[in-house]
Amino acid sequence: MTSLHTYRTGDGMPLVLLHAFPVDHRMWDDVAAALPGARAVHAVDLPGTPGNAEQLPPPSIDTSALRVADALAGAGIERAVVAGLSMGGYVALALAELRPALVAGLGLVDTKSVADAPEAAANRLRIADAAESSGTVDVVRSMPGTLLGETTRAARPELADRVGGWIGEQPPAGVAWSQRAMAARPDRTRVLADFAGPVTVVVGDEDGLTPLEQAQHMADAAPGALLVVVPRAGHLSAVEDPGTVADALEELASRAEQSA
C-alpha cells in the first residue's frame, strides 16, 4: 500500500520525500536530480497511488505516516530527514508526532499545520464521493490550474501538461481515500513546537492553496525554523523551481546531520 522509490543511495543522513495530492513520487524527480551532495534520496508513494490502491484501510493521514515508517524500516532506515509537499507535509507532521525518533529534520513545503475548516472538509468529501461514484479522476483533472503558480502557467504550459498526466494516472479510489484522510486530519501545529530537530518551511510566493501566512504560522511555531520563499512559484514549488527547493532541503539535511 506504499512503495519506496530510491533515487540514489549514499552516505550520511538520508532524505525522504513525500508527495502532494493528487500525484505521486514523480513530482520529486527534478528535485532529486538537482540535489547537491551524496546522501541517499528516497521518495514514498503514499496509499492510494498507482499500485498502492488495493485493499485500502480506513482513510487516515496517520495510517499513511505509519506506512511510511514501515517502508523505511523495510529499507533499514532508522532515521532520516523527511520533507513533504502539501499532503506530504501533513504526513510528515504525523510521522514526527507518531515516530519522533525516525525524523531527524522536517521539511514542510507548500503545506500547513492547521486542520481544515468545516466547509473545506465538506468539499473534500464531495470530491471523494464524485471520484468514487464516477470511477474517474475527472473531478480533480483541472487541478494543475490551481497547483501551479500564475508565472509557471503563463511561461511553461508544458508543466501543466506534465502534472495533468500524473493526475490522470491516479486511481479514483486513491483520490477518494486521500481526500477523506485529509478531511479528518487534526491540527498539528503543536507538533512543531515539540519537535527537537531542525525545520525548514518552504513556500512558493504564488502559492494560493497554502499561502505564505500558513508557512509563517508553521515557522513561528517551530523554534529556530528557517523560512524559504520561492519567487515566481506556486503550490508545486518543487516542480516549478526544483533547484531552489533542492538547495533548501540539502541545507536542512546538513543541519540535521550536524545536530544528530
Residues that bind ligand MLT (CB under 6 A): 20-21, 86-87, 182, 209, 235
Nearest residue (CB) to ligand MLT, 40 versus 175: 175
The C-alpha atoms of residue 242 and residue 260 are separated, in whole angstroms, by 26
Nearest residue (CB) to ligand MLT, 7 versus 21: 21
Angle between helices 118-134 and 172-183 (to 10 degrees): 160
* Shortest reach from residue 237's CB to ligand MLT, in Å: 11
* Shortest reach from residue 209's CB to ligand MLT, in Å: 5
* Shortest reach from residue 116's CB to ligand MLT, in Å: 7
Nearest residue (CB) to ligand MLT, 102 versus 182: 182
Give Cα 130 distance to the centre of its chain. Answer: 23
* Shortest reach from residue 111's CB to ligand MLT, in Å: 8
What cell does 227 get? 523560512
22 preceded by cis ω (within 30°)?
yes
Residue closest to ligand MLT, measured at CB = 86
**112 touches 47 (CB < 8 A):** no
Nearest residue (CB) to ligand MLT, 162 versus 235: 235
Sheet strands side by side (includes 80-85)? 3-8, 41-45, 15-18, 80-85, 103-109, 199-204, 226-230
Nearest residue (CB) to ligand MLT, 182 versus 256: 182
* Shortest reach from residue 86's CB to ligand MLT, in Å: 3
Per DSSP bridges, beta strands 80-85 and 103-109 are parallel
